A and B are shown apart, each in its own frame.
Chain A
Amino acid sequence: MSVSELSRTVAFRLTLFYSLFFTTCVILLLGFVYWQTATEMTRRVDQVLRLEQQRLTALPADQLTDEINDSILRDQRHIYFYGLFAADGQLIEGNVRELPHDIPANGRIYKADMLAANMPSQPLLSHVLLVRLGSGDTLLIGHDAQQLIEFGEVMKRALYWGGSLTILIGLMFGLALSFRPLRRVEQIQQVCELIMGGNIRQRLPLSGHRDELDMLAAIVNRMLDEVERLMSEVKSVGDNIAHDLRTPLTRLRAVLYRLQQQLGDAPAKRAMADQMMSEVDSLLLRFRALLRISEIENLQRRAGFRVIRLKEILEQAVNFIEPVAEDKAIALSMTAEPTEPIHGDGELMFEAIVNILDNAIKFTPTGGRVTVRLLQGAEGAQIDIIDSGTGIKENERAAVLNRFHRGGDDLRPPGYGLGLSIVMAIIKLHDFRFEFGGADPGTRATIFCWPHSV
């Protein structure tokens, strides 16, 4: 389960949306607090400046210089600026270096960079007011605004870290929340794949929490019950038809056979009887195949299972089909790696392999080649039957495995569909997997000989 998968879940998106929303709210709140606090601090600074202005301007001119000195000494935090300038701009007393040029001496409060006398290199943002005194001198009173700036910095840091953490925690929380529903979806997906593979008896898992996924899964399960019931009904109707028709067909064949024996030397009639016989035989063959499929499907899974050796069965099958290949000048060869014995029905596996080989030879043109390979993979034995025939188009490979399907062009030999249906029934009984792949050129039919259900 990858992060990109997790991040697409509803739970994750909701959590992410929620944490973004929450972060925005936090930013707004902190902003409001900052704004309120800054306004209040500014108001207080300004109030202090006014008070200082009132106090100093009320003093007689001769005490002013001393009072300024005292005030500077009392200000241990160094947040006040005082300056008494002569009319020509010369500093008479104070802790500032020079008179700011851009501030009018009208008693209003301005913001300006001030240079303290003891720290001339570092301008400090301050609230400053200038007053013209009766003596013609100018009085400067300032208050350092650095605190406000620092407070703003603190707020920004709080916003940055608080916001990042909220989003990060929200992301993690969202991922964690998505994990469970996504795992359920994955389980459901696995079961669905089994069902699509033909294992219609499988049902979607229910967690028991009665959540929305459970509700959906329960609906799908009810639907599957119904599908399974309908399928088995259709199948049993089909099987019954095949079963009921087989007896009259066999009797028809018996009558034909007798007729054939009694016709004697009448070539034209004999030819007709022979043709009828071969048609009835091919009908019977198809019915037998149909019944064989339902017979295999109805077998008790493990009843006839024994330990079997695939190599021996493959050798027998190759040996059995070899004259057919030879007649078509097809090179039939086999290679076998040592494989573990498997649990299965040897007779049915032989039947399946003969059917696949028979098909492979049918679809390989004269002079071609059919190769049988037995491999031992990590999970179990694998049988490859590779032919150099026309091949099956990629989009037809799945359809070919269905009952009665025949290749698109009618040039293909008959009997293709049912043989493979028998193969599929046998593979399913063993819980193996069968697939068609491409060879270059031709087709690769593969049986994966290990259990495939959950």
Chain B
Amino acid sequence: MAKILTIEDDETTAREILDELRQHGFEVDWANDGHDGLNMALNGHYDLITMDRMLPSMDGLTIVSTLRGKQIDTPILMISALSDVDERVDGLRAGGDDYLVKPFASEEMAARVEVLLRRHNRQERQTRLCVAELELDLVARQAVRGDRTLDLLPTEFRLLEYMMRNFGQILTRTMLFESVWGYHFDPGTNIIDVHIGRLRRKVDAPGSPPLIHTVRGSGYMLSERL
């Protein structure tokens, strides 16, 4: 079971994060100030840290750079009320792995935690991704399901690649938009749904068991079964 440290000074927000993560089956510790948080992070062998960007006694950015300076590469999810692009860039440059803007939907936070944990444990250098009978050849840029070659547009290929790399994980629309298109604003409309719909028609042909699933209220998941 993964062990997570939450550094957050606002009790309500902390309670939300703790509840949500525990519900997902994680073991969660809570530090409500920067110094304690840094000490716990240095000594506690955590699999992941969620951290407020602005903390009393020590700034979130300082904690991240201190940890990275000590060669501790625990994945860090930065949570901040500052949504400015520059703030995001600063957070990621200091060594954060992902950046979430307050207020956030708890399942969005949980989904990001799951993806970070998964990314940390996997080999990035794969050239071939497989889920059930779906195969993605990253070198030949080719997708095959069973004996059927899928005719994918470049965007669809990137979307499928991201979903396959994170198979079995809930992926929110924002996460898909950020990873596939590289932008950080809220597209606001159902454009992502339309893209998924188009990909789904190609991947899940009638008759074959569906691989792309809609997760009610959250987003999408690629897996053999929901």
Contact = CB atoms under 8 A, between A and B. Distances in A.
**A, B: real partners:** yes
Interface of A: 246-247, 249-251, 253-254, 256-257, 260, 274, 277, 285, 288-289, 291-292, 295, 299, 303-304, 316, 319-321, 323-324, 326-327, 347, 350-351, 354-355, 358, 415, 419
A251 B107 CA distance: 11
B217 A351 contact: no
Given A246-B103, A254-B106, A321-B191, A288 B183 contact: no
A263 to B, nearest CB: 10
A138 to B, nearest CB: 120
Given A250-B105, A285-B186, A358-B191, 10 more contacts: A250-B103, A254-B105, A257-B105, A285-B188, A288-B188, A304-B86, A324-B194, A326-B198, A327-B197, A350-B183
Given A257-B105, A327-B194, A251 B16 contact: yes
A415 B188 contact: yes
A256 B107 CA distance: 11
Tell me whether chain B's interface is mostly helix, strand or loop, or mixed.
loop
Contacts of A316: 181
B25 interface: no
B189 interface: yes
A323 B156 CA distance: 11
B26 interface: no
Contact of B217 (A260, A327, A355, A415): A260
A254 B16 contact: yes
Interface in B181-197: 181, 183-191, 194-195, 197
Tell me whether chain A's interface is mostly helix, strand or loop, or mixed.
helix
Nearest to A357: B191
13 contacts: A247-B103, A254-B106, A257-B107, A257-B217, A260-B216, A260-B217, A274-B217, A288-B186, A292-B186, A320-B191, A327-B197, A347-B184, A358-B191
B137 interface: no
A321 B104 CA distance: 26
A350 B181 CA distance: 11
Interface in B76-103: 83-86, 102-103
Contact of A323 (B84, B103, B198, B216): B198
B149 interface: no
B189 A415 contact: yes
Nearest to A300: B86
B155 interface: yes
A319 B85 CA distance: 23
Contacts of B20: 254
Of B183, B186, B189, most buried by chain A (CB within 10 Å of CB) is B189
Contacts of B185: 292, 347, 351
Given A257-B217, A260-B216, A304-B86, A251 B103 contact: yes
A320 B181 contact: yes
A315 B42 CA distance: 46
B71 to A, nearest CB: 32
A347 B183 CA distance: 7
B85 A347 contact: yes
B201 to A, nearest CB: 10
A327 B185 CA distance: 24
B216 A274 contact: yes
A316 B191 CA distance: 13
Contact of B197 (A288, A323, A347): A323
B183 A351 contact: yes
B4 to A, nearest CB: 18
Given A295-B83, A304-B86, A323-B195, A257 B106 contact: yes
B187 A354 contact: yes
Contacts of B184: 347
A113 B107 CA distance: 122
A413 to B, nearest CB: 10
Contacts of A303: 86
Contacts of A304: 85-86
Interface in B162-191: 181, 183-191
B186 to A, nearest CB: 5
Contacts of B195: 323
Nearest to B16: A254
Top 7 nearest A-B pairs by Cβ distance?
A: A250-B103, A323-B194, A247-B103, A254-B106, A323-B198, A324-B194, A351-B185
A299 B102 CA distance: 18
Nearest to A281: B217
A404 to B, nearest CB: 15
A78 B40 CA distance: 134
Contact of B155 (A250, A251, A319, A327): A319
A323 B155 CA distance: 11
Interface string B200-223: 000000000000000011100000
A402 to B, nearest CB: 18
A253 B217 CA distance: 10
Contact of A419 (B83, B86, B188, B198): B188
